[in-house]
Amino acid sequence: MIRRLLSVLHARNLEFVRDRSALIFSLLLPVALVIGMSFVFGGPERPLFKVGILSASVNRDAAPFLREHYVQFVAVPQRDAALRELTHQQIDLLVELGPPQRYWVNTDSPKGYIVEKLLLAADPSAQRQPVSGAALRYVDWLFPGILGMNMMFSCLFGVGYVVLRYRKSGFLKRLHATPLSAFEFLSAQVLSRLLLILTVTAILYAGIGAVIGFHSVGSVPLLILLAVLGALSMIALGLTIAARFSSEELVGGLLNVLTWPMMLLSGIWFSLEGSPRWVQWVAHAFPLTHVLDAARAVMLDGAGLTQIAPHLLFLAVTALAFLAFGAWSFRWRIE
């Protein structure tokens, strides 16, 4: 019995080692995660307070207060947007350099109370403009990310593995004998998955909202439009992976290579504000980043169509590009 067990064990180990794609993926993924997280969360210690400066840029020599330690000063050219952040306690203070120097403070914010003392110690003549507003709960900020993550997995894996299974089973080979074109087949797969994703997302949106409640002040039709374009872009992205390959290990590895960076860099769990600038540029290459940025702008700040139009345009263009590339590179049968 021991010899039989060892024989099967040896055969399975050889099978795994000879599967180059699975072996390389299992070795490289942890390394990539560690390196990626070190870039995202690395660097110097982050400041305790965040202060908005009404200016196109921050010059630390412009006022004594700007030389305070452990305070992050960020330039905010638009007052209305900065006041919304201050109301939600996303920044601790808003300062307009003078003379006369004015500042806005959220009277409901404990951190705003402390950083106001620092400002008055540096400039006692600064004019106070109080605002109020409770901080957004983490669940309010997280909720769009959870819905977006669920959409991402359903879009990429739900379509990619279905097409791969069709190809390996010979179903695509039989379809190839019909007048059906690759674009028509892929479009049907996209629409089918889109209807499923929208239904599931709508149920989750209504169900979770009824159970725990969440902050949403924007337009629901605009959120639906965003969900449609976001889902189309990620479904088409999944199809470009499965359009040509026939190896389950390779397709699974490529899909994981897409999903893990999107999970870490698209802002599902945490904001990338304060991360290195190049990390934020990489993040904006992912469709999920645009979905979440636009969804949070609509739900948390009440943004309209014009404010999120760049995100919608990016999603529409990538959806068409991925679908066209998938149709061009589509392979009906295993060579």
pLDDT of 312: 94
Do residues 218 and 309 both lie within one domain?
yes
- Cβ pair 299, 212 in contact under 8 A: no
In this structure, is residue 199 part of a structural domain? yes
pLDDT of 317: 94
131, 151, 184: which is the final residue of a domain?
Answer: 131
In this structure, is residue 334 part of a structural domain? no
Do residues 82 and 151 both lie within one domain?
no
Which 8-state DSSP code applies to residue 124? T
- Quickly list DSSP for 125-166: TPEEEEE--PPPPHHHHHHHHHHHHHHHHHHHHHHHHHHHHH
In this structure, is residue 335 part of a structural domain? no
pLDDT of 303: 81
Length of the chain, please?
335
pLDDT of 258: 81
Do residues 261 and 159 both lie within one domain?
yes
Mean pLDDT by 10 residues, the chain (335 residues): 62 61 57 59 69 79 81 83 78 84 86 88 86 69 84 80 74 76 75 84 82 75 92 86 69 77 81 71 88 88 86 93 79 63
In this structure, is residue 72 part of a structural domain? yes
Look up the domain containing 125 and give its range.
49-131
Do residues 203 and 91 both lie within one domain?
no
Do residues 184 and 206 both lie within one domain?
yes
131, 146, 175: which is the final residue of a domain?
Answer: 131
pLDDT of 249: 67
Q: Give yes or no for a cis peptide into 99 (omega within 30° of 0).
A: yes
In this structure, is residue 13 part of a structural domain? yes
Token pair belonging to 180: 């059906």
Do residues 255 and 223 both lie within one domain?
yes
In this structure, is residue 273 part of a structural domain? yes
Give dist(CA 304, CA 112) in Å, integer: 29
Do residues 205 and 73 both lie within one domain?
no
- Cβ pair 187, 271 in contact under 8 A: no
Do residues 97 and 246 both lie within one domain?
no
pLDDT of 230: 92
Put the strands of the sheet holding 49-53 in their side by side order: 71-75, 49-53, 93-96, 102-106, 127-131
Q: Give yes or no for a cis peptide into 100 (omega within 30° of 0).
A: yes
Beta strand 102-106 pairing with 93-96? antiparallel
- Quickly list DSSP for 162-230: HHHHHHHHTHHHHHHTSS--HHHHHHHHHHHHHHHHHHHHHHHHHHHHHHT-----S-HHHHHHHHHHH
Do residues 115 and 151 both lie within one domain?
no
Token pair belonging to 135: 């901080």
Smallest CA-to-CA distance from 194 within 144, 166, 235 is with: 235
In this structure, is residue 14 part of a structural domain? yes
Q: Is 45 exposed, middle or buried (0-12, 13-18, 19+ CB in 10 A)?
A: exposed
Do residues 233 and 112 both lie within one domain?
no
Do residues 151 and 271 both lie within one domain?
yes
The amino acid that residue 191 corresponds to is L
The amino acid that residue 133 corresponds to is G
Do residues 20 and 79 both lie within one domain?
no
Query: What is the tally of structural domains in the chain?
Result: 3
